Structure 1
């Protein structure tokens, strides 16, 4: 158990874009932003090796990080703005003025950096002192906060908290890579084609979804604001990371194909590395829940939720540098007794792959049910939700110290989601981050390892 990681505050400041580099701006939320009003903030932590003393960090590294952040904010200035959940009949919107800034907290820790960066089960409470807190007022909320924690002689942790209404994973990734490029002197200036695109008119609401989501938001808008604070009392949860490498993915694929041929069944329509990983993960999670809860196997639906990129799926073009949300929601469904049977992984792959194919054909078909569908599964122990995406290549973020040692998403503790990002060290591999009660983590680990060995 973690006895409670302690950090010593070194500095607390506000970072703004360079003077006169930006103009006051108001950005209304589009129908693709609005569903994110129902989700708590994202809280990613980036751990980097940094074998230098604190004096070196404060004298050289910190000024560079603050200056490069300021340069980045001249392009991504909405991140320094605030979210206004306006009363009816106005729409919620994002506002930036020259008085706005991003809160930057700098801290020092004497904790074990290597322990925090490991893959084995660790107490989730060890991580919360590294997470910045978003400030909220009576009428507005900060969109982003940053905390940099130094482990002298060992490493640096860059922790962020941001509201999803400002950015999907793609936009956040562009922000981080821009900051890293300025910090590592890889970019003295950016070509126009790389700058964020703000024009919200490119998001066309041909299905009338804005009204649907606004009505749902106005009906229950309290949970979003109340959920912006860090929860530091998750005493029984541990965090661990599991790796699925391409060799294991290929073995799972061969197993599924062989089983379908043996039983004269059609193969799942889509067996990508992501589908194979998620299918295996889904079955392991269901088995874990069944064993640890002592439940009988019921013939009821189980769901697997995930985020689907919209850049290639929407019927209208959206620039790759568009600043905002351009994703949809997918929810695969299969009967629980089927998923727990001998053909469970086939059923899981069929459900997830089939959902992806439907999204490929028409991402917005049934989108009016996105919020209600996800409310049914988000935070549930009976269903599984995957967040982030291996396609983002988050480990390519380099501030000049090399690729991150480890990346963790802290918000999964409360949401009970699973983070999926690319592997740091295995080309084509996928890292899965989980937070479970200790007993469940042991059981999941057993099913995960036994399942891979059985397929091998």
Structure 2
């Protein structure tokens, strides 16, 4: 048998599927195929070194925003303990690094600075006083800023943005580091909000990476910033390109608290987090050496087929059926089945054990009062479902899970406070498989003038086993889901995913 180096040399521009076909054509067994592909992909990942070229502080223009404080709402409190959100936008950029530094970087910094006049909370800090004090956003003119780094990568851009499984660590050098929290002289914990890093892949691509604290706002709020920044960049710094009616609304008075036990639970979450020294995603965690990351695409036609199957099974019309719902069901069932295989769990004794799933529920239109689309902050709460193993891996597991998820979403829509409280209660039961992101965010529409993003990734899911979800990058109504698993489970997941689509005629 020829050695791994031969395969590496002759396949360095191939996809994982090409690699599989090549080695299988040599008559190798599945284990050998997996080992060789792992060796190839590992070797390719070794070229992913990133060199930081420069770093800057970016803030609103001096005097453009007065020193200001903004309270957080009770809906923001839930998100303090969560890992910071890490989102990467990749673009084709066929220019050398020198071209980027000379012609692109100055306008990127200037346009971000101008955009922060409207979105100054991102250049502020979150102040966390000890109870009974409540957290708030504070911006000090001439003092606060965003960290903005510029780096260069030697990695193969096409490999980095591929869908096939590749080393999970490949993307993380593009993720900016957010400054650590500190405690000031008054005993108030001070949290930086966001950091950016632009990574250039010479002559091939560019990545705009962001890391931000979820307590500042949800995905809708972050995408308000990104859409405005891209508009100002494309207009070469002309702020008249921004619609006056699209100004972010920071007034928390429009967000009436949930009241009762749920509001008390939210403040308890904040107090408990603060009492544990405010530990969250600012702490680093090693990624497993054998972990790989992949993206799975469900076409619009496939999603419609799945929705039709669930609708046919929902004779009492109790479910909210959407592309998001059926995609979550498909991914979750494939995850359960792949986990059961890799753990060699063939016993039927635990058929009644539960798997727990958590998702974010947008309650903007369900609070009983009007929330402007420009509201800046968190307007999402967690929803949870629990499914028995036997139900998930059964013949109609995907349809069963989709119905359960659709029923929970519909129930939360009719009484979100009651069902939100139930979700908090269920969150104490054990470990969850979660989903991050949403196709509603339209992340692929983010265009600085280099064209639509060619890939958008959420890398914080690599640590906790969650799935991320975005709209399809082709704009044809499909959906993308990404996740990180160890090599063995990923191989099983890919097989089960493809088999499921065939069995469902998707």
**Is this a same-fold pair by TM over 0.5?**
yes
- Structure 1 distance, partners of 2:497, 2:322, is 19
Give the corresponding residue for 1:251: 305
In structure 2, the CA distance between the partners of 1:283 and 1:397, relative to structure 1 (3 Å rule), is same
Secondary structure in structure 1 of the residue aligned to 2:211: strand
**In the alignment, does 2:103 pair up with 1:60?**
yes
**1:345-384 CA distances to partner (integer Å, 9 max, x unpaired)?**
221011100011012112222434544534545xx4xx42
Q: Identify which of 323, 326, 330 aligns with 1:273.
A: 323
Q: Identify which of 333, 340, 361 aligns with 2:393.
A: 340
**In the alignment, does 2:89 pair up with 1:40?**
no
**In the alignment, does 2:334 pair up with 1:284?**
yes
More displaced 10-residue stretch of structure 1: 128-137 or 391-400: 128-137
Over 6 Å off, 4+ runs: none
More displaced 10-residue stretch of structure 1: 17-26 or 203-212: 203-212
Give the corresponding residue for 2:445: 396
- Conserved 8 A contact 2:48-2:156: no
**In the alignment, does 2:141 pair up with 1:89?**
no
**1:135-173 CA distances to partner (integer Å, 9 max, x unpaired)?**
124221210011001111011111100000011010011
Secondary structure in structure 1 of the residue aligned to 2:332: helix
In structure 2, the CA distance between the partners of 1:266 and 1:420, relative to structure 1 (3 Å rule), is same
Question: How many Å apart are 1:7 and its aligned residue?
Answer: 1.4
Question: How many Å apart are 1:285 and its aligned residue?
Answer: 1.1
Give the corresponding residue for 2:159: 115
Secondary structure in structure 1 of the residue aligned to 2:80: helix
The structure with more radius of gyration = 2
**1:66-110 CA distances to partner (integer Å, 9 max, x unpaired)?**
000001111110001112221121012221111100000101111
After superposition, the CA RMSD in angstroms is 1.9
Question: How many Å apart are 1:256 and its aligned residue?
Answer: 3.9
**In the alignment, does 2:240 pair up with 1:197?**
no
Give the corresponding residue for 2:49: 6
Q: What is the TM-score normalised by the length of structure 2?
A: 0.85
Give the corresponding residue for 1:428: 477
- Structure 1 distance, partners of 2:369, 2:258, is 10
Question: How many Å apart are 1:191 and its aligned residue?
Answer: 2.7
Give the corresponding residue for 2:235: 185
Give the corresponding residue for 2:22: none
Q: Identify which of 289, 293, 299 aligns with 2:352.
A: 299
Question: How many Å apart are 1:4 and its aligned residue?
Answer: 6.5
- Conserved 8 A contact 2:287-2:463: no
- Structure 1 distance, partners of 2:159, 2:168, is 12
Q: What is the TM-score normalised by the length of structure 1?
A: 0.94
Please list every run of 5 or more consecutive structure 2 residues that lacks an aligned counterpart in the other structure.
1-41, 184-189
**In the alignment, does 2:275 pair up with 1:212?**
no
In structure 2, the CA distance between the partners of 1:206 and 1:353, relative to structure 1 (3 Å rule), is closer
Query: How many residues are treated as equivalent by the alignment?
Result: 448
In structure 2, the CA distance between the partners of 1:376 and 1:117, relative to structure 1 (3 Å rule), is farther
Q: Identify which of 309, 314, 323 aligns with 2:362.
A: 309
- Structure 2 distance, partners of 1:224, 1:128, is 24
Question: How many Å apart are 1:55 and its aligned residue?
Answer: 1.4
**In the alignment, does 2:120 pair up with 1:77?**
yes
